[in-house]
Structure 1
Amino acid sequence: MNTYNPVTDEVVTALKNIVGEKYVKTDAATLDVYKADESLAPSFWRTPEVVVSAGSTEEVSQIMKVANTYRVPVTPRSAGTSVSCGAVPAFHGIVLLMERMNHILEFNEDGMYMSVEAGVRTIDIQNMAHSKNLMYAGDPCSADSCLIGGNLATNAGGNKAVRYGTTRHQVYSIEVVLPDGKVTTLGATLKKCSTGFCLDQLIIGSEGTLGIITKAVLKLVPLCPYKLDVLAVFTDLSKATALVPKLIKAGLNPTSVEFMDNNFVRSASDYSELRLPHYEDGCYDIISIETFNEDELDDKMEKLAAICEACGATDVVEADDRVWKVRRNCLESTRIFSKVATSEDLVVPVTKIADCIQTLVDESKKYDFRVFCLAHAGDGNLHFQILKCDMSDSAWEKQLKEFRAVAYRYVYDLGGRLSGEHGIGLKRLDYMEQYTDPVELDLMKTIKHAVDPNWILNPGKVISAC
């Protein structure tokens, strides 16, 4: 395991010389804010020694050079909406904030791309694209608050991934500060390229362990003029989950297929102060269809309704803004039940998601914690929000470990993986070591050592140094 030096007065002075005294914080109140992300997992929280806010790529570069000189770890932080402890400073040191770098640099309507800094809110990118009848297809559920740099670092998924892909599929190029402070641009505004290694895609999704993304050129797509959202309500969990493969096989090409179990339906409805159909006993599938032709939309909606009814839907109705408000509030709604929780981010082949949800829901009933199930069902990504309720800390840790031992092995046997969109972070580090093929893991560590020999950048995430 690598060792690090503490942040000294000399380091703090060097940082102030780079960004200005105003943007370097060492007071206890500020440091306490940045010990955690949105994860409700206090056992993983770590307090930084200094928080620095960079205003330019050059400042990020100089900060990394200082960190290497003094052998102090750096944890890049976007908006802190991660639920995998990805922005938690595992070895204390420096937390590097990107939120000052919040400018949209270019919007090319004809070329259908946008150049942005890492600290731009995802919702602002989406809104600017919409103003010109274009769309940025990256759509994580935290779009109102998350920053594009964090989306890139984690390869965020979201509601539209089933049709448009994850964040990595929305990018032409990125500007990156490497762990040693060198700056480079990877990728290009091209439709295709076979010139050397695809290094931009290596950095995207590496959770800030291989480089700090400071700018990106994002792809935009035409905004479909015709769209309809449908809420299919089921009172049988197995029927609700069995719908998904049938929708994909039918060639409907949905933009979104979201699943909510009844625990989430009730908690998020209460939190949103709304009542939707079958509040007491319903599971929800929310399906979005978008087209460029009204007749095509009508045709697809007829097929969709027929498939839902054939699968045993109790109701098939148009989903308005109330439905999406409930969906967006799912995670937040569970916080009133417990201040300690963990969010699983399992991903399996789409054809296996119905079996996976049913099997793991049944397995969870053997334990004392409370489980809520949510899924980006159209791309096989399911989330279990597991709440610590009326349990001792020791019982919570023991039962969680036992459940994960069953769940993770089952998911890998199905051909799945630990994370579909949230990333490994610090929270899943040990499980990454346990379930990843040793050859694959060794290759990742070899790459990390090559670009970051001092193991300075976001250590303790994705892979361990030992």
Structure 2
Amino acid sequence: MASYNPVNEAVIAELKKIVGEKYVWTTPEKMEPYSHDEVTDPKYVKMPEAVVLPANAAEIAEIIKLANRERIPVVPRGAGTGLASAAVPFKGGIVLSLERMNKILEIDTINMFMVVEPGVTTEAVQKAANAAGYLYAGDPCSGDSSFIGGNVATNAGGNKAVKYGTTRRQIYGLEIVTPEGEIVTLGGKCMKDSTGYSLVNLIIGSEGTLGVITKIYLKLMPLPKEQIDLLAVFPDLTTAIGVVPKIMAAGITPTCVEFMDNETIKCCEEFLREKQPHSDNGYYIIIKLEGENEEQLEEQAATIDELCSENGAMAVLVADPAKIWKARKAFAEADRARSLVFSMEDIVVPMSEIPKAVEQIAAIGRKHGVTMHCAGHAADGNIHVNILKDKMSDEEWNRVLPAVQEELYTLVYSLGGKLSGEHGIGYKRVKLLERFASPVEIKMMKAIKQALDPNLILNPGKVIDI
């Protein structure tokens, strides 16, 4: 295990020389927001020793070199919307906030690329692309507040991943500062690249452990001309999920196929104070279709209506997109309002195994007497399972949660699934990864980390712990 030194007054003085006194924070009130992400359990809170806000890659490189020399951990941070505590400084040191690096540098309409800094919000990227007549396909539920750099660092998924893929599919190039303080551009605007190892893809999803992302080359797509949102309501979640493979096998590629169980619908309805259709006993499949003409979408909608009705749907409606997506995206906030402490699990299984997974998840909840709400991305097998603490004592919660997780992930891996579909491992799932991943996978990850970050100063203790 690496040993680290504290951030002393001499280090603070050097940091101020690099970025300016205004952008080095050491007071508790300034640093408190950087002591946690969206995980609300108090055991995932840790105060930084300093928060530094650099303006560019050159400043970051100097900070990283200083940290290597002094053996001080550095934790890169975006907007703090993560759900795995990946941006929390559990080993102390410097939180490197990228919020000042918030410029859209270029919209290349010929090659259909946008070049941005990491501190631009996902929503700002989407709006800038739309204004230029293009689509940026990445669409995590936290897009109104999450930074694009954080999306890249976690390989964020989101609602449109079934058609367009995760963030990895949108990225063709990155500028990074390495763990030793070197600045390098990986990839770029080329559509093909077989030039050695795929280092771009190594950095994507590495959660700030292998480099600090300072510039991102985003692929743009033509903006769809038409879209329609459908809401299919089913009497139970197994029936609802069961129709998804049939829709995908019908020759239709929806942009989104989301699901919500009934308890989740009611929780979101209460949180938003907005009545939802069939919320008394319904289970939702929400489908977005996009295309070039209205006639094509109407034909696809009719096919989906027929498939859902044949497979037990109580109703198939053309949905109000603003209302239905507001409810879907409020999932985490609604559960947080009900139970300040909860554990959001982010499992992924092959699409064909979703009905079995959902049925067994419900059984695990009943066995342990815990409230478990399910929602997520039905067509790509990504199920968000929120385990609520509710009124449990801390002692009971700390006993029940590991038992639930053990059974949940044993189930997931028996179905050919994985720990995380889009939220990442961070700090929260390090022990779970060691428990369930192949020892060979862990060995390879550790070898990469040690090779690129020999002093183990960049976001230590996340993903894997050496």
Shorter-chain TM-score above 0.5: yes
Name the CA distance, whole Å, in 1 between partners of 2:92 and 2:74. Answer: 8
Structure 1 residue 90: deviation in Å?
1.5
1:425-436 superposed matches below 5 A: 425-436=426-437
Which residue does the alignment assign to 1:304?
Answer: 304
Name the CA distance, whole Å, in 1 between partners of 2:338 and 2:293. Answer: 45
Aligned residues with identical type, % of pairs: 48
Which residue does the alignment assign to 2:116?
Answer: 116
**2:19 is aligned with 1:19:** yes
1:6-405 superposed matches below 5 A: 6-320=6-320, 321-405=322-406
Residues 255 and 288 of structure 1 are in contact (CA less than 8 Å); yes or no, is this contact kept in structure 2?
yes
Residues 78 and 98 of structure 1 are in contact (CA less than 8 Å); yes or no, is this contact kept in structure 2?
yes
Residues 368 and 389 of structure 1 are in contact (CA less than 8 Å); yes or no, is this contact kept in structure 2?
no
Name the CA distance, whole Å, in 2 between partners of 1:337 and 1:124. Answer: 30
* AA aligned opposite 1:59: E
Name the CA distance, whole Å, in 2 between partners of 1:47 and 1:17. Answer: 23
Q: Deviations over 1:33-56 (max 9, x none)?
A: 211100122112211100001111
The alignment yields a C-alpha RMSD, in angstroms, of 0.9
How many residue pairs align between the two structures? 465
Residues 369 and 391 of structure 1 are in contact (CA less than 8 Å); yes or no, is this contact kept in structure 2?
no
Name the CA distance, whole Å, in 1 between partners of 2:269 and 2:135. Answer: 29
Name the CA distance, whole Å, in 2 between partners of 1:32 and 1:369. Answer: 31
Name the CA distance, whole Å, in 2 between partners of 1:33 and 1:254. Answer: 38
Name the CA distance, whole Å, in 2 between partners of 1:307 and 1:418. Answer: 31
* AA aligned opposite 2:458: L
Name the CA distance, whole Å, in 2 between partners of 1:391 and 1:171. Answer: 43
Residues 247 and 307 of structure 1 are in contact (CA less than 8 Å); yes or no, is this contact kept in structure 2?
yes
1:253 aligned counterpart, secondary structure? coil
Name the CA distance, whole Å, in 2 between partners of 1:230 and 1:224. Answer: 17
Name the CA distance, whole Å, in 2 between partners of 1:354 and 1:93. Answer: 45
Query: Where in structure 1 do 4 or more consecutive aligned residues deviate above 2 Å?
Result: none
2:90 aligned counterpart, secondary structure? coil
Give the TM-score taking structure 1 as reference length. Answer: 0.98
Structure 1 residue 440: deviation in Å?
1.2
Name the CA distance, whole Å, in 2 between partners of 1:303 and 1:24. Answer: 58
Mark the runs of 5 or more structure 1 residues left unpaired by the alignment. none
1:366 aligned counterpart, secondary structure? helix
Name the CA distance, whole Å, in 2 between partners of 1:271 and 1:431. Answer: 31
2:35 aligned counterpart, secondary structure? coil
Name the CA distance, whole Å, in 2 between partners of 1:69 and 1:179. Answer: 12
Which residue does the alignment assign to 1:444?
Answer: 445
Structure 1 residue 387: deviation in Å?
1.0
Name the CA distance, whole Å, in 2 between partners of 1:171 and 1:237. Answer: 35
Name the CA distance, whole Å, in 2 between partners of 1:335 and 1:459. Answer: 28
* AA aligned opposite 2:72: V
Name the CA distance, whole Å, in 1 between partners of 2:304 and 2:203. Answer: 38
Mark the runs of 5 or more structure 2 residues left unpaired by the alignment. none
Structure 1 residue 222: deviation in Å?
0.6
2:120 aligned counterpart, secondary structure? coil
1:457 aligned counterpart, secondary structure? coil
Which residue does the alignment assign to 2:461?
Answer: 460
1:360 aligned counterpart, secondary structure? helix
Name the CA distance, whole Å, in 2 between partners of 1:368 and 1:11. Answer: 50
* AA aligned opposite 2:327: V
1:409 aligned counterpart, secondary structure? helix
Structure 1 residue 263: deviation in Å?
1.3
Structure 1 residue 355: deviation in Å?
1.1
Residues 136 and 219 of structure 1 are in contact (CA less than 8 Å); yes or no, is this contact kept in structure 2?
yes
Give the TM-score taking structure 2 as reference length. Answer: 0.98
Q: Deviations over 1:337-356 (max 9, x none)?
A: 22211100000001111110
Q: Deviations over 1:118-164 (max 9, x none)?
A: 10111011001111221000000000000000000000000000000
